[in-house]
Amino acid sequence: MSQSRPNLCLTAGAGAGKTTRLVETYAALLAGRDGPSPLEPSQIVAITFTDKAAAEMRSRIVQKLGGRSGQAATLAWAPISTIHSFCAQLLREHGVALCLDPDFTVLDQDRYHDLLREAIQDLLRAGLKSQDPRLARVLGHYYLSGRGGLEELLAWLQRGLATMGLAPQEAREATARAHAEALKEGGERLAAMGRLLADLALLVKSGAVNLQAGYGRTISELLSRWPALRADLGRQPAPSETLAELDRLTKGNWYAANKMRQLLRPLAEEMIAAAAVPAAAQLADDLLSLAEDLAASLEQERVRRAALDFDSLLIKARDLLRDHPEVQAQLRQRWRALLVDEYQDVNPVQGELVDLLAGLGAEPQAADRPWLMVVGDRKQSIYAFRGAAVAVFNETMLRFEAGAGAVEALPHNYRSQPALVHFFNRLFAQVFSASQLREQAPESWVEFCTHDSQSPAAELTGAPGERPVQVLDCRHLAAVEMPVAAWRLLEARSLAAWLRQALDGGRYRPGQVAMLFRRLTSVAIYEEALREAGVDFYTVRGRGFYACPEIGDLAAALQALLDPGQELALAAWLRSPLVGLSDESLLALTHPHPPEALRLSMALTGAEPLPDWCGPDQQRRLAEARRMLRDLGGLARRLRPAELITWLLEESDLIPLLLGTSAGSQKTANLRKLIEVARQPGGGLAGGVEAFAAGLARLAAEPPQDPQASLLGEESQVVRLMTVHQAKGLEFPLVVLADLAGGEPGGGGLPPDLGPNGLLAPAPLEPASGLRLQSPLYQRLRQREQAVAEAEAARLFYVACTRAERELLICLNGAKSQGRWSKWVQEMALADEAVRVVDAAGLLAQAAPEPRSAAQAWPERLPPAPGPAQDEARQVLAQCLHRPPVALGRVRESVSGLENFLACPRLYVLTQRLGLDTAALPGLGSSGLARAVELGSLVHGLLETCDLAAGPDGLAPALARLEPQPELAQPALALARGLWNTELPALLASVPAEHLHRELPFRLLLAGEDGGPEFELVGELDLAARLPKGQWLIADYKVTARPDPEAYRQQLGLYALALHQGQEGGSGPLPRVALCFLGSQGGSLAWLEFSAADLAGLEARVRRAADEIAALGGLSDPFVLPAGPDCSAGHCALRWLCSGKEAA
């Protein structure tokens, strides 16, 4: 094919018909249009990024050609594939140039993950054994394993470098250069600081500064200390004390000298950051040196196994084309056209591959270059977490516009109605130009230009003046500040009411609706709201088959039946729905004659019955478990895996039990999938029933990325809940964007993402303070990471909105902490002419009080008469919904759980039975609750682990061991120091170490009375000390700015009751009880007095509560219970949950 036709970069927005254009181009190449001669399918390479997309492209090309002689048949062998399949075939043919075994295998992600983990562990074991100094230095800054530990860090580093196509040595050299440049700038900063301070001295001399004021004294101290500070700041590294002093002296309000402070402060911050450079440079060099060893080890293992992973497929294919021009020449003779779909999703290595295949670096007059067409949409590049770099597409567009080819846009949107298309143009012209972070990573941003603006397709119509975008405004549903979780709850209930009306009114069928989320982290709240409103739904969970509880239960059952000596597997099987023994029954089974304890396997093979208090249902379940073990015996090892699983399911009532739950159909489908897998096990599951059981247990413990069983077809009439990434390439008449405040990416304890050329910027640990130091490179890369994340959020928002065909519904709530999407909607969309705002308060007031089913909404979908299985269905429902209650012989509760019950039985069921976090209840938290909880936990950790005898000086070493978040470290230290403002340390000074207990767990057991249950209260005391005269002292820390001792009287009374009962049955002296309040103004101690009568009355209340909790049985509906005794409708934290009609 002649290169007279320029290479083409085709930009195609949402719904623009890019696949149709690709197919037409392929057909035109076959027919010889726009070229000197027709091409054969074998001469055209078409690359996309998923097997599904490749299969669809091949199918549509075949349809386009119809029955054209010869070509349709040869298309089955044409090079239309994913880029990984293409590279694999390329390396099998030409890999001998790289000394590759042509029969290499390709490791899937899970097998490569295992290989990488083993290689890292081998590297670290060898380093520890040889006392590698690099490893010793690195372990001074990171734990060996765990979240944010060295194992995770090396894996992250290896994946990041592979995605960029860089060797660790290249990144190491680039990082060293960057740190060296940062060190050179230190002298310039010192000189600039000196000049500014000279000007400041002149300002002081002029009399403009009041030296008697506080700010004046600070300025005077800074000027007098500068010679010594300058000398220390010239050292590498500068002493931490000097940096702290410089930080202190350049903060605050300088009033008349504020302009000077505004010049000095940035310089001081830069100097403080620069002091971290030597330690950061050494740490980065050590990490990248270890990464070099890891890369060499991985390569040796690939050669030994004759295997390649996905990243090495790409890298070796690139190296082959780059380093072997003779291979390039052969390929150019074979392939005359190259079509690349979804080009916005390529990573740097894939971009290099395309350039090399197309000969973009060759001379313009080279006639043997294949023709190239890349197709994509920069606005839909949403896979940065996989390494996709929109910068590759941006650069290609610039090169083609500069003469390397041509750029063409597909201008029409064939998906969305006209009013929506115009709304998208207006909205995203603003979104893509709104960032203040663009300068930190300009290559990651989309410049919204004429290529990106779309016009509606001629065949799409819409009513004049139609407003197809609705914003469900929940911001005024509460007049008080609430945590995000509580706002989600209100938003979910409002959204469910809106959908209920839309479905009942016939505007949409459920199958036409998709609810999109950035992440499914909080989807359970929305599922419950839809369930209550009677809206049929299905949550698309693309991963996690082996992580499903029902699969884990069967894995444990197989292990237990094959080897009852595996105590954990045996306990898991007995507790699972396959058997259904309670924790209390397992405890009673292993302790038939307390304090004697038996192994669970011995207790199960015996004949000892459960105590009567466990109830007849638990007795029956134990008998069934014993029968299954007895009947199966040695037979289990002779069965095939599928037979054993089928036998287990037939012998239990698991399937009817699952079908009675909200996700029962999906769980049952997963069990069917497992049976199919067991019929033809492969990989780690092959090798007989024992190998299958062991392999299944491994997969359940560390689940691979395997999808759950397919349950619904495209025509199923359910509302679909999915992530935006799952919705890519799909379209729906109605799209709902929910939980806009959620899904923002968070930190994970790792350094910022690698910078250009593989720049690595770790944050070394400062030994004295225990804080992580942030070098200038760290700060720059962290800002770049934030800019990249914001650019990705804008593109993800575009993809989410443009899935809509007829209507877009966006949910807004009043959470104080809002995500970027919420900000853009409020600032750029609310006033748009296409938007109609819906008040959520009115929806909740109109919501039907009783949930409705899909059958009620669409009676025509019901069969005319009951089917033949109605009797069986009634039996299944009776078994699932009306199981005999379990009589509780013992109630075990925590102090907080008991307090919840005493306050309000509804609150108890919601928190202790249904798992609702109290942070989700307005009135019990605030928007800063998460940070307050973290700060409080850190203060408790400091006071638990510090050396009290060392006084406040013992806090810093404890802080270093805890490795807190940097922003919490100093506030926690300040709060913990407040303890020494009280008399508590003096009281403890005379207490021997063996009589001083911190974070002391306790257990109070009250025997049942008059046939009532036993009650076991468990908790933990912040501090308990036995004073010299035998009296106990209890102290509880409260991190709060508003000391209110009476608010904690019940909690501390329970502590006193537990400790007093533990002293010779309550005959000892009453304990002293103190509350230690720690706030920004220091610490204070409040003493609470409890008499013997007080404790006796509290014990009576506890016993009554135990009887009432036992009477709840399996109750899971909190609203059949009465409200708490002190309930006030105006101030109750549960008012949003107790009544769907209260919305303000």
Residue 860 forms part of a structural domain: no
Residue 876 φ then ψ, to 5°: -60, -45
How many Cβ atoms from other residues are within 10 Å of residue 682's Cβ?
8
Q: What is the mean pLDDT of residues 716-731?
A: 88
87 and 125 co-located in one domain: no
Here the CATH number for the domain that contains residue 902 is 3.90.320
Q: What is the pLDDT of residue 743?
A: 62
According to the per-residue pLDDT averaged within each range, which of 328-342, 668-682, 1050-1064 is highest?
A: 328-342
In terms of Cα–Cα distance, which of 527, 524, 575, 576 is closest to 550?
576
Q: Is the pLDDT of residue 1097 over 60?
A: yes
Residues 737 and 671 in one domain: no
Query: Is residue 438 a part of any domain in this protein?
Result: no
Are 693 and 754 contained in the same domain?
no
DSSP 507: S
Residue 423 located in a structural domain: no
Residues above pLDDT 70, as percent of the chain: 86
Shared domain check, 686 and 624? yes
pLDDT in tens, 388-422: 889 999 999 989 988 888 999 999 999 999 999 99
H or E element in which residue 183 lies: helix 168-205
Q: Which residues contact 730 (CB under 8 A, 6 or more apart)?
A: 514, 803
**At 234, is the pLDDT very low, low, confident or very high (cuts 50, 70, 90)?**
confident
The mean pLDDT value for 629-654 works out to 81
Distance between CA atoms of residues 307 and 302, nearest Å: 5
Lowest-pLDDT choice from 93-102, 810-819, 955-964: 955-964
For the chain, the residue count is 1144
Token output for 883:
């199981």
- The band of 68, judged by pLDDT with boundaries at 50, 70 and 90, is low
Least confident of 213-217, 292-296, 366-370, 573-577: 366-370
Indicate the DSSP class of residue 69: T
Q: Which helix (H) or strand (E) holds 689?
A: helix 689-701
Residue written as token pair 């799952």: 726
In a domain, 1038, yes or no: yes
**Shared-domain flag, residues 90 and 139:** no
Q: Report which of residues 1005 and 548 the model is more confident about.
A: 1005
CATH number at residue 497: 3.40.50.300
Rounded to a whole number of angstroms, the CA Rg of the chain reads: 34
Residues 246 and 391 both lie in one domain = no
Contact in structure between 7 and 336 (CB atoms under 8 Å):
no
Mean pLDDT of 776-784: 91
The Cβ of residue 485 has, within 10 Å, a number of other Cβ atoms equal to 21
1027, two tokens: 């004073």
Indicate whether 504 belongs to any domain.
yes
**Could you tell me how far CA 52 lies from the centroid of its own chain?**
27
pLDDT value at residue 1135: 58
Residues 486 and 589 in one domain: no
Side-chain half-sphere exposure of 876, counting CA atoms within 13 A:
14
Stretch among 354-368, 525-539, 684-698, 1012-1026 having the lowest mean pLDDT: 354-368
Pairing of strands 1082-1088, 1072-1079: antiparallel
Share of the chain above pLDDT 90, in %: 36
3-state secondary structure of 234: coil
Residues 601 and 661 occupy one common structural domain: yes
One domain for residues 183 and 321? no
Residue 1033, strand partner residues: 1025, 1072
The predicted pLDDT at position 925 comes to: 43
Mean pLDDT of 12-37: 86
DSSP 557-600: HHHHHH-TT-HHHHHHHHHSTTT---HHHHHHHH-SSTT----H
pLDDT at 855: 43
Q: Over range 1057-1077, report the average pLDDT.
A: 83
537, 542, 543, 549: CA torsion to nearest 10: 20
pLDDT digits (tens, 9 = 90+) for 481-495: 788 888 999 999 999
* Residue 757: pLDDT over 80: yes
Coarse DSSP helix, strand, coil percentages of the chain, rounded to the nearest 5 percent: 55, 10, 35
* DSSP track, 1069-1110: PPPEEEEEEEETTEEEEEEE---HHHHHHHHHHHHHHHHHHH
Whole-number pLDDT of residue 708: 62
Question: Which pLDDT value is given to residue 639?
Answer: 82
Q: Say yes or no: 571 and 486 in one domain.
A: no
Residue pLDDT, tens place only, 133-176: 999 999 999 989 888 889 999 999 999 999 999 999 999 999 99
Instruction: Output the pLDDT for position 870.
Output: 61
Place 1140 in a pLDDT band, splitting at 50, 70 and 90. Answer: very low
Same domain for 735 and 803:
yes
pLDDT at residue 918 greater than cutoff 60: no
pLDDT value, residue 1030:
80
Please give the structure tokens belonging to residue 323. 């380093």
Closest CA to 179 of 292, 274, 286, 288: 274
pLDDT in tens, 267-312: 998 888 888 899 999 999 999 999 999 999 999 999 999 999 999 9
Query: What are the beta bridge partners of residue 376?
Result: 11
* pLDDT at residue 1131 is higher than 60: no
| Count of other CB atoms within 10 angstroms of residue 233 | 23
Q: Which of 13-17, 499-503, 596-600 has the lowest mean pLDDT?
A: 596-600
Judge whether 851 lies within some domain. no
In a domain, 400, yes or no: yes
- Which secondary-structure segment (H or E) carries 837? strand 835-839
3 state SS of 399? helix
1005, 1112: one domain: yes
Helices and strands counted in the chain (H then E): 43, 23
Q: Which of 121-135, 179-193, 861-875 has the lowest mean pLDDT?
A: 861-875
At 607, which CATH number? 1.10.486.10
> What b-and-e string marks burial along 403-427, b requiring 16 or more CB atoms within 10 Å of the CB?
ebbebbbbebbbbbbbbbbbbbbeb
C-beta atoms surrounding 200 within 10 Å: 21
State the residue range of the domain holding 136: 109-165+279-301
pLDDT-based confidence at 45, cuts 50/70/90? Answer: very high
State the pLDDT at residue 427: 95
Helices (H), ranges, 275-387: 277-305, 310-323, 325-334, 348-358
Please give the tally of structural domains in the chain.
6
CA atoms of 1112 and 261, how far apart (whole Å): 65
Supply the mean pLDDT for the chain: 84
What SS3 class is residue 252? coil
pTM over 0.75: no
User: For residues 917 and 952, which has the higher predicted lDDT (pLDDT)?
Assistant: 952
| Domain contains 352 | yes
pLDDT confidence of 70, banded at 50, 70, 90? Answer: low
At 915, the pLDDT band (50, 70, 90 cuts) reads: low
Query: Does the pLDDT at position 927 exceed 50?
Result: no
pLDDT of residue 361: 67
